[in-house]
Structure 1
């Protein structure tokens, strides 16, 4: 059963040209539901996550019954894209796909979706026996894995699967860090900077003192930190009363994650506690509030885990050699693993993602489709 290259190319192009920036996935959800109905899906579930994500639609769970007495597996993709994503038009040069304009292409993650569609078409046409399959297609992945976080994991019947969402090709991501999101609010006292500056407490200066001391960038091979936004103050002639800083800590080690997060907390707390009032005229005292929220849990798979042994066997059956890597970013796979659903990340061939130079090769999508078919049909996998 051969992959139909041009049909796959046409599906990919069509999906890319349906604009679907985060929270505006309604049109592509409707089109995907139509495609999966035509492919004979036994059940298409759109969950109620839209009320929590703010999307036009919910996550999709699509079920295809199997004819092999094998455990079900799922494939996960996300239907949203980053901006700029308005009026996407695909340019094809030979077998290379790029954006024809000043938008992203959308191979992140429509290359994965297109491969799923083509794989199911090939199996249906050939009547080849396969294991039960679920497709889990989420919304709002690009704005913080929001759709996956709002998914009820009980809707997914398979206990293992693959997130088709990474750059490069023949790569399997087995580890990804956990992340804490930090929101630090430094409060001071407002005052007129020209008339009575001594009455004020400058929240911006206190925040800057702390930021100059906190761990920043790469801490070690497992851990990174970053402070990415700062907001505060009202005017140049007013002592700033409040500053809000947003940052993150990531680590493959939970112990290091908590240690570095605690160190940052201590530095901000000390910067405020060490404040002094040299004139004794300040109309109040500074304060700091630090909110820490787990953004996503760590993903840690072992080579002996069945989900990795299965993809290795499937790749071997079609003559594909895989590499296994650690990632520095989070994805829906982090969330699924946190739900107890063993999930490896498989690259789709996309490159230069999140940019207007994004691209993907047709052959990579063809080979990805072949891998999916092998995962669904090989009894040894």
Structure 2
């Protein structure tokens, strides 16, 4: 890719200005119609590149194909990123700012100067001296998660369409909605996608290759209390809200929570609580790296709930578990070449690959169990879901390089 004029930064700066926030409380799919606004832009740009079959379906998925240009029988490879941004922080009216030739200083965000990306709190920034860093302006997230991945796939597609001398098999492009709320591949048509192996572009620091994720479940606790007029409530009223608060308060303060765990430690995390005196609901997410450990955490939470509720006469509760995704490594270990080829591509891009586990999940987690083994490749996105989100332009360019090298590795080894 020598002398190539990358478009990834320009694309990224445009894409983040489109509000694509998903909504975990919605009962539609996609959860917000505005996600399709970016998807329509992507379809138009893919068609302009000469990718004739690019289209947006009724569920908000973008499908497109870069045709094979080799005589070899190469497996069809898919590259996937999600268009939505997290509901944890506003994604409306994003103002991306480029901090050129970063030299290690704290980055004060101009629209709210209390928002400071401090170098001492972001050790990865110390590795980016001389890079051009993109941030938001202080009032929103940036959207690098995962519009960095979207822009990288788009730039790589442009390069491959313009350079037919780069040999590769058929490449499928998939852009999904609602990844941030765990529904990203719910309605993907796997037969239509027609890929044998895949890669999500949704990772963090330069060179990272994630072939292991959390396994994840959601738990909904619904507590039934006893309502009574507060003026005549003695011996009658049982507050579901107070029981719910007691359940959350009974959880450990120094272990088993996101704020007290790291590496391979799992957690129980209450993410939403709402209700009235009569009925209250608590939504939890449960995370661990193996299914037995996940189930042990759920058993612990259920015992805690039962213990608390039993102290309140007339109260009752239900405990509902919904599977979200499972550790992709269970599938990827059966296809070692998928991660091995990615490592080779990262090396060819001049980077030392770093095999990592991710304390989270991607569309690749569910795709792997849907028949598309799918590890996760770096994009450069950092401090996601926050106003301090940032990305290096040079990291994004290296991700584009990696995609281009990766399709060549598959062609060479077929």
- Indicate the TM-score class for this superposition, using the shorter chain for normalisation: 0.7 to 0.9
Q: Could you say what the CA RMSD is over the residues aligned between the two structures, in angstroms?
A: 2.3
Alpha-carbon distance, 1:228 to partner: 2.6
Label 1:80 to 1:207 Cα distance change in 2 as closer, same or farther (>3 A): closer
Alpha-carbon distance, 1:357 to partner: 2.5
Q: Distance in 1 between matches of 2:391 and 2:38?
A: 20
Structure 2 residue 319 is matched with structure 1 residue 290: yes
Q: Residue 76 of structure 2 contacts residue 170 of structure 2 at CA under 8 Å; is this kept in 1?
A: yes
The match for 1:40 is 50
Q: Residue 17 of structure 1 contacts residue 88 of structure 1 at CA under 8 Å; is this kept in 2?
A: yes
Structure 2 residue 151 is matched with structure 1 residue 141: no
The match for 2:14 is 14
Gaps of at least 5 residues in structure 1 are 50-57, 234-239, 277-284
- For residue 355 of structure 2, the aligned residue among 324, 339, 348 is 324
Q: How does 1:280-359 map to 2 (within 5 A)?
A: 285-300=314-329, 301-302=332-333, 305-359=336-390
Identify the range of structure 1 (2-11 vs 115-124) with the bigger mean alpha-carbon deviation. Answer: 2-11
Structure 2 residue 167 is matched with structure 1 residue 157: no
Q: How does 1:80-99 map to 2 (within 5 A)?
A: 80-82=84-86, 83-94=89-100, 95-99=132-136
Label 1:207 to 1:140 Cα distance change in 2 as closer, same or farther (>3 A): closer
> 1:356 is paired with a residue of what secondary structure?
coil
The match for 2:400 is 369
Structure ID, larger Rg: 1
Q: How does 1:66-145 map to 2 (within 5 A)?
A: 66-68=68-70, 69=72, 70-82=74-86, 83-94=89-100, 95-100=132-137, 102-128=139-165, 129-142=167-180, 144-145=181-182
Q: Distance in 2 between matches of 1:199 and 1:89?
A: 55
Q: Distance in 2 between matches of 1:34 and 1:372?
A: 21
Identify the range of structure 1 (130-139 vs 119-128) with the bigger mean alpha-carbon deviation. Answer: 119-128
The match for 1:55 is none
- For residue 59 of structure 1, the aligned residue among 58, 61, 74 is 61
Q: Distance in 1 between matches of 2:163 and 2:67?
A: 16
The match for 1:281 is none
Q: Distance in 2 between matches of 1:3 and 1:118?
A: 14
Q: Distance in 2 between matches of 1:157 and 1:6?
A: 29
Q: Summarize deviations over 1:174-206 as a string: whole Å, max 9, x none.
A: 111111111111112112334332122233343
The match for 1:242 is 279
TM-score scaled to structure 2, two decimals? Answer: 0.80
The match for 2:124 is none
Label 1:190 to 1:19 Cα distance change in 2 as closer, same or farther (>3 A): closer
Q: Summarize deviations over 1:264-309 as a string: whole Å, max 9, x none.
A: 2233234334545xxxxxxxx2211111111222221339712101
Alpha-carbon distance, 1:157 to partner: 1.1
The match for 2:106 is none
Label 1:106 to 1:248 Cα distance change in 2 as closer, same or farther (>3 A): closer
Q: Distance in 2 between matches of 1:132 and 1:108?
A: 26
Gaps of at least 5 residues in structure 2 are 23-31, 101-131
Q: Summarize deviations over 1:216-254 as a string: whole Å, max 9, x none.
A: 426893421112322233xxxxxx222211112111111
Label 1:3 to 1:141 Cα distance change in 2 as closer, same or farther (>3 A): farther
Q: Distance in 1 between matches of 2:311 and 2:140?
A: 49
Q: Distance in 1 between matches of 2:309 and 2:61?
A: 44
Q: How does 1:257-272 map to 2 (within 5 A)?
A: 257-272=294-309
> 1:340 is paired with a residue of what secondary structure?
coil
Q: How many equivalent residue pairs? A: 358
